[in-house]
Amino acid sequence: MFRYLFLFITMIAFAEDDGHWGYANNGTESWSENSGTCNRGEAQSPINIISGAAKHMSKKSELEFHSNVMYRADVIDNGHSIKVTPKRKPYLSIDGEDYTLLQFHYRGKSEHSVDGKFYDLVVHAVCQNEETKALVVVAVFYVEGAENKLLKQILNNVGSTILVLNINLPNQMEEYYHYTGSLTTPPCTENVQWYILKVPEEASKQQIIAMRKYYVNNFRPIQELHNRVIDEH
């Protein structure tokens, strides 16, 4: 995601840290035991994005990430993903409305796919509007390529209580897919705004292997789109 690197905080904590669900044992087919929304909701994530069917947005939402200084953050393996929680909160601005960055986490394969294609890794940046409690998630894919400086810091400091890093979203935030979905972990809460960046970041083959030593199958299967519309810009 992040070149140098979203509903309530209690929901986020439950979704990320509750130990009574998983991907192998207590797998995705049993998530409805935690929350009925996981199997009854009709606005679930992730989805397969069919690029040719996406609706071009007549008015583009402007995404801007604000982080110009170094931040301390906790880097943990929470039993579901590698999760990074900044102690000082940078924020994402969408058309002038601010969303605090709560945390970002990595998965051993992308959850969303584009035209049936999955990516080598993905990071989800989870942001929340402090007044409305609305959630936004920005997803950034990774492909094999050059070593990623931020990912190097993350992998070298898993388990550290404090990590100093510079968190910046990619420059290529102008091109993205947008749709209304859900958390991809229990309680699968809906009405989450997803922004999936079209241009992937790079990570080295060694970094991809290192991340997959922690998790390779920590992704939810593709969900039905139902009547939702995917926007693109």
Mean pLDDT of the chain: 85
Question: Which has more pLDDT, 174 or 132?
Answer: 132
27 pLDDT more than 80 = no
Coil, strand or helix at 30: helix
Mark whether 124 is an active-site residue: no
- Fold annotation for 9-18+43-232: Carbonic Anhydrase II (3.10.200)
Task: Identify the active-site residue in 80, 112, 124, 178.
Answer: 80
Pairing of strands 135-144, 190-197: parallel
Chain-centre distance of CA 143, in angstroms?
A: 16
**Can you tell me the mean pLDDT for 174-195?**
95
Q: Where are the domains of the chain?
A: 9-18+43-232
18 pLDDT more than 50 = no
**Whole-number pLDDT of residue 153:** 87
**Can you tell me the mean pLDDT for 209-233?**
95
**Whole-number pLDDT of residue 14:** 34
Please tell me the number of Cα atoms within 13 Å of 162 on its side-chain side.
Answer: 6
Cis peptide bond N-terminal to 46, omega within 30: yes
Nearest by Cα to 219 from 99, 127, 131, 113: 113
* Sign of the CA dihedral with 55 first, then 223, 65, and 173 last: negative
* Sign of the CA dihedral with 68 first, then 83, 190, and 56 last: positive
Most confident of 13-22, 55-64, 65-74, 204-213: 204-213
**Whole-number pLDDT of residue 165:** 59
**Whole-number pLDDT of residue 203:** 96
**Can you tell me the mean pLDDT for 200-217?**
96
**Can you tell me the mean pLDDT for 187-209?**
96
181 pLDDT more than 50 = yes
- pTM, full prediction: 0.88
Q: Are 184 and 111 in contact (CB under 8 A)?
A: yes
Dist. CA 68–CA 77, nearest whole Å: 27
Q: Is 233 exposed, middle or buried (0-12, 13-18, 19+ CB in 10 A)?
A: middle
Question: Which has more pLDDT, 38 or 11?
Answer: 38
pLDDT band at residue 23 under the 50/70/90 scheme: confident
